[in-house]
Amino acid sequence: MLAAQPIFTIHAELDDILRFGGTPYGERRVIHITGGRVSGARLKGRILPGGADWQIIRADGAADIKARYTIESEDGALVLVNSEGLRHGPPDVIERLGRGEAVDSSLYYFRTVMRFETAAAPLAWLNKILAVARGERLARAVKLDVFEVT
C-alpha cells in the first residue's frame, strides 16, 4: 500500500498570465515564476526566478499543468523541479480563481506529480523519489504541500 510523508511546502510567486489563445492543443497559457520559498523539515530554500508554468485549458475546462523551476537550498545546492498536474473545479470557482479571489482549496482539485534532479550529495535522496503535491492557487502565487510517495 502506498503512503505519503510530508517533506516541504513550496510558495511560488507568479507573474501575470500570458494568454496565447486557442491553439490546436487548447487554450494555451504561460505563467512565469518570479521567486518564492521552500520550507520544511527536509528542505529549506528559495525558488529562483526563471521557471515557468505551461498550461493548456482543455475542452473540459481542466488546466493541464507542466512546470519547471529551480530551488536553491539554504546551503546553495540547486534542485531542478519537474512538476505535472491538473487543476479543475466547478466553473464559478475557477472563474473566481481567475479573478485572483481567495478561494478555499477544498472547492477545487489541484494536484501535481513531482520529480527532482540535483548534484548535491546531501539532497541526493530527491533524485530517487516521486512526490505528489496538493496545491492552492493564490492571487499571485501557488502554494504546494509536497509529500514523498513511499
- Length of the chain (residues): 150
Q: How much is the pLDDT for 3?
A: 78
| pLDDT class of 98 with cuts at 50, 70, 90 | confident
pLDDT value at 133 more than 80: yes
- For the ranges 9-13, 98-102, 114-118, the lowest mean pLDDT is seen at 98-102
Pairing relationship of beta strands 45-47 and 109-117 according to DSSP bridges: unpaired
Q: Supply the pLDDT for residue 111.
A: 98
> Quick check: 104 pLDDT over 80?
yes
Instruction: Check residue 100 and give its pLDDT.
Output: 85
Cell of 72: 536553491
What pLDDT does 4 receive?
Answer: 82
Cα separation, 119 vs 147, in Å, equals 21
Give the pLDDT band (50/70/90) at residue 132: very high
DSSP state of 116: E
Rounded Cα distance between 56 and 78, Å, is 28
For 4-130, strand residue ranges (E) read 4-23, 26-39, 45-47, 51-57, 63-73, 78-88, 109-117
Is 52's pLDDT higher than 70? yes
Task: Give the CA diameter of the chain.
Answer: 46
Above 90 in pLDDT, residue 2? no
Q: What pLDDT sits at residue 1? A: 67
- pLDDT 10s digits, 78-95: 999 999 999 999 999 999
Percentage of the chain lying above the pLDDT 70 cut: 99
pLDDT given for residue 99 in this prediction: 86
